[in-house]
Each structure stands twice: as C-alpha cells, then as structure tokens.
Structure 1
Amino acid sequence: MLSRFSRLAWALAALLVLAAALAGLLLWPYQGFQGQKTVVIEQGLGRRAIAARLADEGVLRWRWPFVAYAYAQPHRTLKAGEYVFDRPASAAGVFSKLARGEVHLYALTIPEGWTRWDIADEVARLQLASREAFLEAAGDTALIRDLAPEASSLEGYLFPDTYHFARPSEPAAMARTMVEHFRRVYAPLREKASAPGRFTPHQLVTLASLVEKETGVAEERGLIAAVFYNRLERRLALQCDPTVIYAERLAKEGVFDGAINVSDLERDSPYNTYKRPGLPPGPIANPGRAALAAVMNPPASDFLYFVSNNQGGHQFARNGAEHERNVARYRRQRAARNAGNRR
C-alpha cells in the first residue's frame, strides 16, 4: 500500500500536471489558423456567449478555457466592439484584449476644405455612423458656443486631419474630437494674430474657409487672404465662387452638380458673395492650419482681384483694368487648351 506521503505526492503531481495542462490551454496559441480574424462582440453578450462566438469564428479552439479564465476574473469587464485578432491566439490573450477594449480603429481622413457633408459621406462609407446621424451631431453648436455663438453648425470647426475611430462610434464624440483638435490649433494662432481686431473668431474662421477653397497653392494663401481683406475694407463684393457652390449645396442637402451657372450666381442666399456684400454668415468648409494662419497674419498687399492662371494658381491685380487683362489671358489660354483637346 502507498504510504500517506506517497499518496500526497501523487496527488500533488496530478494537480501540477492538471495546472500545467490548464495553463497550456489558456496560454498556448490556437494553431488552427494563421492570419487575422475580425469578430464583432455586441453589447450585452455574456461571457459564455462571447466564448461561443469566438469559437464559432475560429479564434479559439475550445470555449471552456476562455470561460474558466473569464469566471476566475469576475472583476474584469469584457468590452463590446469590433476586434481584429492576430492568430494564433491564446484564450488568455483573447480575454485580455476584450477586457482592455482594444477594438479595431478605422482611419478617418479629412482633407483641408471638406465640408460637413463630405465628412458625413466618409463617416458613412467607413460604417462608423450613418450620414444623417453625423450631420445631426455637426449641427449641434454647443461645442463652439464660446467661440461662435452666432454659428448655425460646426462647419469650419471640424478640423481636417486623420482620426481613428471604432466601428460604430458616437457621432457626437467624433465631432467633439474634431472640434477639440481645432481649438488646439486655433488658440496659439489667434494669440499671435495681426489681423484686424474687429473680426470675431467666427468671421476669421469663415474667411479662412474661403481662402482654403480658393487655392491649394501654399504660397498664395496669404495673398488670397489679403485680397479679401482689401475688398472688405473697400466694401467691394467678395465674388468668391466657392460661396456660390456652398449656397447651392445648402439648398440641395449637400449636393453640387459640378458646374456654376447664371442662376447660381443669382441665387438669393446670404452665402452668395456675388449678391451679398461682406462675409457670408459662416464658414463654407473646414480650413486647415495654413489657411487659418493666412487670415491671422496676412501679408501687406494692395491686390484687389485674382483669376486662375490655368496652371493651378492665380494671377493677381491691383485694379479693374489689370484684372480684365488677366481674365482675357485666362480665357484665351483656356480656349486654346480646349481646342487642342478636341483635335
């Protein structure tokens, strides 16, 4: 017969083997697949249901090691969301990923000059939120009430950059992130601004949006800003084509057919700077850092006009006669180019 000591030794050995086996099941990666696996964990799923989902999707070989590990840590909560697992994955590793809430993040890139409609379209394309839900969030001006109490939307304050959001995301949280980024950029620029003090923050952002939409040439932004300041000082209509486009998009829920016609120029809208003097009532896009800097510190200039040079930039003029010559040159060059394209 085995002595009492021997029985204890055998029992201890068996426990050690069992513990080692359990540790292996928890920590040893499942070798069934290689690559990546995307799994969505819905809100409200219990630990057993999550284990079943992970096993069904092929992330785990067995459910019970995950369940055992989960119930051994009742204080840790598993987060809902979309997860990407790099296989092979262990039960403990998968549990830790869910407990930390390491959901997959999608890159939302907002170029300078996009409108809230453009952003909403991209948000919907990435399936982060619906277009309608994001536009509703972009219409809540509480986030900028201190900066722009007169604002009718967050247009101009959804700062262009690349953001990373989970799927799905709360539209209000996305908008808040963009506005907070705007504030971090705007504040130091405003502190060093030499622009006329009579302009409110909302007017400066509005002017920056016009500059952003008028040119993509870095060297021109300051001159474009100077032209607009000079025209405002002389009470000349800004005659900014992008404002006409924005007026049309406002009338058509963000849609623009790609061409400005005579009826657009005659549209009775506060955003039509051919018909209304001064600045439009709000931004027509979301300007980037460079456009904001241009309106904060415009160069000294007596230019009053500009027109395309057919090469991506503009020709600037100090008076109407000079401007008309530039316009005539632009039309000749465009006609010649169109004729060449038809050959």
Structure 2
Amino acid sequence: MILRHALRALAQAIPVLYIVSLIVFILVYLTGDPSALLIPEDATEEDRLALVAAWGLDQPFYIQYVTYMGNILSGDFGVSYRYGSAALPVVLERIPATLILTAGAMAVAIAIAVPTGILAALRHNSTSDFVVSGAAVLGKAMPNFWVGIMLILVFGVWLRVLPVSGSGSFAHLILPAVTLGTGFAADMTKLIRSGMLEVLGRDYVRTALAKGIPDHVIVLRHVFRNALIPALTMTSLHTIALLGGALVTETVFSWPGLGQLIVNAIYTKDMAVIQIAVFVITLLTLAINFTTDLLYRVLDPRIRI
C-alpha cells in the first residue's frame, strides 16, 4: 500500500515539477534583460552585447527554455549571475539553515500549542480557557517582524543574553525560532482545542469513562490522538510556508536561509538561483505532503492512503 502510494506520488511529482519550472522561467523571463545589473556602469555597448551573447540571453524564449530544460535533465542547473559559480551549490548551502529554522519554529509551536490546547479543551468555558483563547488571538494578531524586534530589544539589547543576528549556534536559533513559532502556535492551539472538544463528545469517550479507564489515558490515547489530524494538516502547511516564506524573520535576524536568497536573486534577476531554489522548495513540499499522508494513517488507521 505504501509503495503503491509512493509510486503514485512520484508520478504526480513529475508534471508538477515541470509546470513549476515553466511558470518560474516565464516569470523571470518577463522581468527583462538582467545584463544591466551584471556589467559595470562604465562598460560599453559592445561589452554588454558580448555578455548577453555569452549567457545566451539574446536567444528567443523557446530556445532559452529548451536549453534550460535540457541542462536540467543532464544535471546542469545553470550558473549564478551574481555569484559567478554553479547555482545548485549556492542553493544547497542555504537549505540546512532553512531546515534548522523550520524545525526550531515548529518545535516552539508544538511546545506551546499542545499543552495549552489540551488545557483549554479540558477546562472548557473556564478562566484558563478564556486566557488561552485570548492569548491565541493575540499571538495571531502580532506581526512576525514586530515580535522579532521586541525580542531583540528585550533579550539582545536590554538583557544581552542572546545573539540577535547570524547563525552558527543554538543560541542564534532561539530568537528567530520563537518569532516564527509563536504565530503558528496560535493557530495550532485553536485547532487542538476545537478538535478535542469535538472528540470529547463522542460515544467511545463516554464508554471509556464508564469503564473506569484513567483520565490521562483517555485524553492522550483516544481524545488527543484523534484530534491531531487537523493540527497535523496545519503543521504541514506551516512547514511548507516556512521553507521559502520566512523572509521577514530571516531579514530581521540576518538568518542565511532560502527565503533571503530568493529575494536577493529576484532583485538581481539571478535566473538560475531563482529557478533551482523554487525547484528545491517544490521537492521539499512534495516530500512533506507525502509524509503527512503517511502520518494520517498512523494516527487513524481508518483513513485510506
């Protein structure tokens, strides 16, 4: 069953990757000739034309695209205009930083959302429930850049206990991970709370209570596990969004991730970097979706892959 699903996912991934590559190539092509950004201001027109010819930018669109796809199929993802080297290593060296930040943010979100969501559901309409719900709304309303700036002000400027920029150690990860994780924790808390409230009213929960099964066993094994599916969906969506969309946080904390690389490549019209970065993010997205499908079956065997 899993192998068949993996083969089906692989078959679906091929046209998706092709369509994504085509759309990105068209959008980058429509931005115009990047030669003005690649040559010095004192360069002559002959120099510019030579550069354009060297990069193949003087060819028609369809020839450029056929050349680009042929190079990809042969394992050549192009050369970065900005860095003057192969684009693939430029993108690959940013992936670990992006994955570390994504994992850190999701760890923060889960650490906050799971206990608070369970608490709010078990104490429905109590003071604890209102406090948790209010905190979730507040966490969702606060922009990431503002949260990041406040964390820098408190922990970097006033207390001076954490670094506020760069990467390289666990301490560098704390502030950007908390900045991203708090916003996601708000959504996840509300989903866990609502999911558990729905499951708590099911007949099998009342039956388990009547049998005298301990409360913590009922909550963790029956209620929380069945309420996790919507939260798992939200987690996968947030993880995908973080892979290339954590630009603001990466900029605030100077975190060397894919999001910052893509935006810099857009400013300089670095076509090869943009295309391979989006290509890699698409691959990671497909992998996350596949893993999420498998986790659905682990949480609830009744779900057919």
TM-score, reference length from structure 2: 0.24
Higher-Rg member (1/2): 1
Q: Which has the higher contact order (CA 8 A, sep 6+)?
A: 2
Which one has a larger percent strand, Structure 1 or Structure 2? 1
